[in-house]
Amino acid sequence: MGVLSHTFKPNFLGLLKFINNMNWFIVFFSLINLSMCIYEDQIGKFDWRQTYVGRIKFAQFDTVSTAKRIIVATEENVLAALNLKTGQVVWRHVFESASSGNIQLLHVGEKITTVTGSNPYLVRGWDSASGVLMWEWTLALQNDQQAVYSEWWVQNNKLVHLLPVIGSHLEVTMYNLLTGSNRGATSKLPAVWNNDGCVLTAPYYTCVSGNMGSQILLSLDVTSNVIQIISKPLSNFINLKESIGGNLRPLDNSVVPGFIVDDKKVLLIKENSFEAVGKELVDEMASATVIDGGNEQVLLQTWQDDEKGFQLTAYSISTNSEVTEIQCSDPTTSIPEAEFLAVMCSRKAKEQYACRLLVNAADDALHLMQQGGRSLWTREEALANVVTAEFVDLPVSDTEAAIESEFDQKEAAKVYSSVWSAFSRRLHTQYTQLQNLIRNLQGQSAPEDSTNALVRDYFNLHKIMVLITEAGKIFGMDNLSGEIIWRRYEPGLDTEAVVVYTRRSARHPPYDAYVTIVGKNEETGNGYVISLNPITGNLVGEQTLKLDVRILQCTLLHEPDSEKLHALVLLDEDETVQVFPISAAPLVENLYMYVAEKETGKVQGYALKYNGVSVEAQRTWSVQLGGPGPAQIVAVATRSRLERVRSPGRALADRSVLYKYSNPNLVLFVVEKPDPTHKEVVTAVVLDAVTGALLGASSHRRARALPLAVHADNCFAYLYRSEKHRRLEIATMELYEGQERWLEPGVAFSSFASDRAPAVERQAYILPATAAAAAFTITERSLADRHVLLGLTTGAVIEIPWAYLEARRGLTGGDEALLPYTPELPLPSEASLNYNRTVERVRGVLTAPAGLESTSLVLVTGLDLFYTRVAPSKTFDLLKDDFDYYLITIVLGALIVATYSTKYFASRKMLKLAWK
Amino acid sequence: MKYFYLLFMCLLKNSVCLDYDGWLNIKLEHNINCKNENFCSRGNISLKSIKAGSAVIDQISFTKSHIDELKEHADIDGLYSIRSLVTSADSKETEFLSSVKAKLFLENRLSDVISAWILPNGDVIALTFQVNSYSSHNHSLQYDQAEYPLHSNFYIRHVDQAPVPDTASYIQKLEREREAREKGDLKDNRSFLAKYWMYIVPIAIFVMISGITNPEPAPQASR
């Protein structure tokens, strides 16, 4: 015992020390612990970041510097250098997302030159190796309205600006690239033949002019000192009787100025005359360019054939022959609307071509190929614009599925009528389990193919993320590695207000998981429904469904049908209801929908009912959230489908319970409306979506609403910009029933059978940052704390405990569970989830529960993708990351050895004593 | 037809937040016992002043045919819908729609709660009907008279001004605390035990444990 008390002593000293410093507040702060930061060795352990640049607008090979790079400028206003070998981003500059960041010109010479903005323009020079800004000057044009038609290029170290005035003249100005000084004034070249179908193939400006049937092709070198117009009748090149004539298209990034007439004939401008290429365009949609391959010029064409797949042809202009070694026809690859961005070819020792072709596609993918069409790398730039995403569970492994079906009561009753068959089945499963175990021990686990490896792990941390992008490309991505498992391009999908539903998880073998994407048709705006298996990316069930009406609202049925599939219910603009699959229509019961008109502030509710034949929708309520005047719904927040309610109330300091108003049908609307006295007024309204009853509302004067609102359980939070104080504020609301419970425990809540209004607690806080995305963390059973994740414009993702945002915070009365009120929210840098991995242009934060109660999975979308996992109440159900398994095993082993050896020695001692 | 008058005074603690006052007229229509149309008149609510909140409710009484149709709706778990048209001094008619379960409405002896939500500038944003939470589970409620009056309670609910981050009082609080600290008048007049229990308890435990662990050496067993 003496030894025991000795080992206890240090602990007591620690306790003493602790108590010495103790203060109840400190204890409380330690409970909600703010140190969400990670250790240095944990960087990249649970998280990853992928950097993207967006759809490529301009690209050029950097041939000057020794490091092989591709310099790109994108639609997302990003200037970046990509590694030629791997395609990774070497350096990147993200400009303003507004029109002031638009990149008008990219020129790669000794230094990189860019022209950005839209009158005034910024001309900048960058060092290609490091991406450092070398020089910058501004350029403002006098003629602001015409400025949009400006054309830019660099020639002989001069920046040339061309401003065509249709039907009148061309204005050409040359500037010194480094300083911006222009020698002499703008030269005005008379060109009455100038029309809106003209093309620029620097330095030639080419037009088709004249009456139908007798058009003339005109071309002018705008930079030469002598005005010299090349003009030829169009009928010299094409048969005007067969086509309308006069449609010009410039060659994509060609070394020789040239253009395509009527998507057919390729004309080059050489020595002040037109020269027709001996080969016509193979496909109307083909992208064509002329490259300088050693001592001959080669015309390259690429297009996507419906049957033959990706096509690439090469034709030598000087020798009038096909260059077979560059050509390619690959039915397996699909590059929709392929377009040459940059091509570089060299010819070593006369024989072999070595080409690098940078090809852009309609699905925003960037491909680098070599001669013969072999792909070196591909960048999926569609991922720079992720609209929405869904986390999908992986299926269990075959052995586990067998066990599950064995213990599934219904299944078991069907298959195993007798005890003996059940017993033999049990033995069989155990035998296979044993086999697996032995195989694992031997380390001979059979080489599994990639789809087989996608099985659920014990804690359900491994999932598949289905990402929907603005370009209409859908990706299946592994959440742990960030690897793309499958991709699917839907050209007709408009993803403006797209929704994704997991209609069947992978939990129901033998049925596969089932995900449905509801979007709009790009051309007509009608409904467009895609159903696929999220594990493999293959279409299932309804496949792609093009409706002939617009969709007002869609939802999933609560109850699954006999195949465990949740039916998709669509309400279209004629207020008719469609149910997929149609066999699930009788299951529609107690289903309510709401439709909010964004521009007017009108919200309507519908009750859906099956009448024996079909499902019909009855309009049951309508409110006008902005009143009779103009108003706009800026944000709508509904609870997540994965959200659960953990407890009916919260304990107060006096040991009484404050019951929460846990209505599952609540929706928060944030409405902005102009006001004659207060400029803009923001009204936040909490509605019951079933009855249309208002349960709480508050208004902010002189404020602008932001499309950021979140809701979970009885908590609401939304952001707005206070115009009066010129700052961002976050307002929170909480609904409570009060000290007494309205319903008996266990009684189901009904929106129709309640006319009592809950007490609304409200509070507002200053947010000392600008937020671009907001979300609540979700855990499996909502037992862990709830945190708010805010994506800031600085590129950080901040985690704020709800305790800081609580609406009851600041109530006097000595409630120890509440923090004293502070008007400004603390945003410590440790609370940043993505430490130093900045996520540019955060657009959305998506959360999903893991199988572990403590953990919530987080995906941040924007220009970059960032994935991590958070533990709002710390990892109480998980051993520490650096848990020392070896030490504890050694200690246990040593203890066992010590026990038995002391036993042996004790018995020997006893024996010796007995002999005495 | 008999008119049922109900005068309800709605006293609101913060009716001052309204920066506008005016009259309000609400025309009520419902979807039962209408011959050919979808909705027909049920009554009228008029307010002279929104600020005062006193309303005059003027509604029809239900006849046997009304009740029968309501019962029909109740049998199929249908809804009883009310359409209301709100007119105020400076805006044209705004339409609102609200529904209650026909069954609950019958069970509650045709009584409902009407609430109108009003913005600070006097605009009505919602008009909702709700039935009292069902206290009576009396399904055998008899409807055997000729006429049944409607019991409606009308409330005006104001959209309150939301709180703003209160920096001034927070700074004042900090000032006060600082002053108090400077003055040093944070006199602790708790008892000695209350003040230092955290030091005493561990020492006591420590003494106790060391007392137990070092007992008097047991006398050597004699043989």
Structure tokens of A325? 């070694």
* Displacement of CA A442 from its chain's centroid (Å): 42
Asked whether the CA dihedral A549, A553, A555, A557 is positive or negative, the reply is negative
Nearest Cα of chain B lies from the Cα of A911 at a distance, in angstroms, of 18
Cβ distance of A685 and B100 shorter than 8 Å: no
| B81 vs B67: CA distance, rounded Å | 14
**Pick from A4, A684, A764: which is nearest to B213 by CB?**
A4
Note whether B134 contacts A697, CB cutoff 8 Å: no
Q: Which residues of A touch B19 (CB under 8 A)?
A: 677
The answer to whether A543 and A564 have CB atoms below 8 angstroms apart is: no
Q: Please state the rounded mean pLDDT for residues B165-177.
A: 89
- Asked whether A153 and A202 are in contact (CB, 8 A), the reply is yes
Distances (CA, A) of A521 to A380, A418, A525, A911, B135: 23, 55, 5, 92, 51
Residue B65 has what pLDDT?
86
Residue closest to A715 by CA, chosen among A675, A633, A660, A793: A660
For residue B110, which of B90, B136, B84 has the smallest C-alpha distance? B136
- Asked if the C-beta of B94 comes within 8 angstroms of chain A's C-beta atoms, the answer is yes
3-state secondary structure of A664: coil
Query: Which B residues in the span 7-26 are in contact with A, Cβ-Cβ below 8 Å?
Result: 19
Residues in chain A predicted with pLDDT less than 50, given as ranges, are 1-13, 16-20, 22-35, 445-451
State the Cα–Cα distance between residues B91 and A630, nearest whole angstrom: 12
How many CB pairs below 8 Å do chains A and B form together? 167
- CA of B129 to nearest chain A CA: how many angstroms apart? 8
> Tokens standing for A727?
């700052």
3 state DSSP class of A132: coil
pLDDT for res B13: 38
Q: Is residue B137 very low, low, confident or very high in pLDDT (cuts 50, 70, 90)?
A: low
Residues in B closer than 8 angstroms to A809, CB to CB, are none
CA of A834: how far to CAs of A49, A189, A196, A754, A792, in Å?
A: 9, 56, 49, 45, 11
Contact A561, A582 (CB under 8 A): no
State the pairing for strand pair A591-596/A577-580. unpaired
- What pTM does this model have? 0.85
Residue A424 neighbours by CB distance under 10 Å: 12
- Tell me the three state secondary structure of residue A752: coil
What confidence score (pLDDT) does residue B138 get? 53
Contacting B residues, span 40-79, partner chain A, CB-CB under 8 Å? 79
pLDDT at A132: 93
Q: How crowded is residue A760: how many other Cβ atoms within 10 Å of its Cβ?
A: 19
Reduce the DSSP state of residue A119 to 3 states and report it. coil
In the three-class reduction of DSSP (H, G, I as helix; E, B as strand; rest coil), residue A486 is classed as strand
Give how far the C-alpha of residue A573 lies from the chain's centroid of Cα atoms, to the nearest Å: 29
Q: How far is CA A581 from the centre of its chain?
A: 29
Convert the pLDDT of each residue in A766-800 to its tens digit.
999 999 999 999 998 888 889 999 999 999 999 99
Considering CB atoms only, which of B133, B162, B166 is closest to A700?
B162
For residue A870, the SS3 value is: strand
Collect all residues of chain A within an 8 Å Cβ-Cβ radius of residue B202: 12, 15-16, 19
Q: What pLDDT is recorded for position A16?
A: 46
pLDDT at site B221: 52
CB contact under 8 A, B157 and A4: no
Inform me whether the C-beta atom of residue B160 falls under 8 Å from chain A C-beta atoms: yes
A263 near A250, Cβ under 8 Å?
no
Q: pLDDT tens digits for B83-104? A: 999 998 777 788 999 999 888 8
Q: How far apart are CA B161 and CA A165, in angstroms?
A: 55
CA angle A426, A431, A436 (to 5 degrees): 125
DSSP A335-402: -TT-EEEEEEEEEETTTEEEEEEEEE-TTSEEEEEEGGG-EEEEEEGGGGGEEEEEEEEPPPPHHHHH
Q: Concatenated DSSP letters for A826-867? A: ---GGGBTTTT---TT--EEEEEE-SSTT-EEEEEESSSEEE
- In degrees and rounded to multiples of 5, residue A147 shows phi and psi of -55, -25
Contact A236, A248 (CB under 8 A): no
* Confidence (pLDDT) at A880: 78
Distance CA A722, CA A899 (A): 71
Of the candidates A622, A725, A756, the beta carbon closest to that of B133 is on: A756
A691, A699, A822 member nearest B130 (Cβ): A691
Contact A710, A637 (CB under 8 A): yes
Q: Please tell me the distance in Å from A743's CA to the nearest CA on chain B.
A: 10
Specify the DSSP element, H or E, that contains A601.
Answer: none
ipTM: 0.79
Q: Three-state SS string across chain B, please?
A: CCCEEEEECCCCCCHHHCCCCCCEEEEEEECCCCCCCCCEEEEEEEECCCCCCCEEEEECCECHHHHHHHHHHHHCCCEEEEEEEEEECCEEEEEEEEEEEHHHHHHCCCEEEEEEEECCCCCEEEEEEEECCCCCCCCCCCCCCCCECCEEEEEEEECEECCCCCHHHHHHHHHHHHHHHHHCCCCCCCCHHHHHHHHHHHHHHHHHHHHHHCCCCCCCCCC
What pLDDT is attached to residue A447?
46
Q: How far is CA B220 from CA A179, B129, B216, in A?
A: 105, 91, 12
- Residues contacting residue A440 through CB under 8 Å, at least 6 positions apart: none
The amino acid present at A569, given as its one-letter code, is V
User: Is B213 in contact with A5 (CB distance < 8 Å)?
Assistant: yes
Q: Pick from B73, B126, B128, B127: which is nearest to B104 by CA?
A: B73
Q: Chain A residues with CB inside 8 Å of B199's CB?
A: 19-20
**CA neighbours closer than 13 Å in the CB half-sphere of residue A141:** 21
Interchain contact, A4 vs B97, CB within 8 Å: no
A702 neighbourhood in chain B, CB within 8 Å: none
Which pLDDT score, from 0 to 100, does residue A817 have?
A: 72
- pLDDT at position A689: 92
Write down the pLDDT at residue A683.
Answer: 94
The strand pairing partners of A159, in sequence order, are A154, A175
Residue in B100, B124, B167 nearest the CB of A627: B124
